[in-house]
Amino acid sequence: MEVPAFLAALAAETTVFLGEDLLAWLVLALGGAMAVGSIMALVRPPETPREGELARAPVGRSIVMAVIGGLAALWAVASLIAN
């Protein structure tokens, strides 16, 4: 089965959203958000926690999540620079 010429031309001109580095951009965004969110949970706990919430974030878990997020963001930046 032969592909019509207009479809072949369209497929040849199609670009990927954010280029070929989409995965690295997504890892950068999610890793950075995970690191910043975990650090902010430790630095600025809620003034008055709602019923059923902890007074402050668990320190150990927050540090581990901040480190994982930071490493993911660092890997993404290194991947983007390498390309």
Whether 67 shows a pLDDT value over 80: the answer reads: yes
- The pLDDT, as a whole number, for residue 21 is 86
* pLDDT digit string, tens, across residues 2-48: 777 776 666 666 677 767 888 999 999 999 999 999 999 999 988 88
Query: CB of 35 within 8 A of CB of 66?
Result: yes
Q: What pLDDT is recorded for position 47?
A: 86
The pTM of this model reads 0.74
73: exposed, middle or buried (Cβ count in 10 Å: 0-12, 13-18, 19+) = buried
Task: Give the SS3 label for residue 42.
Answer: helix
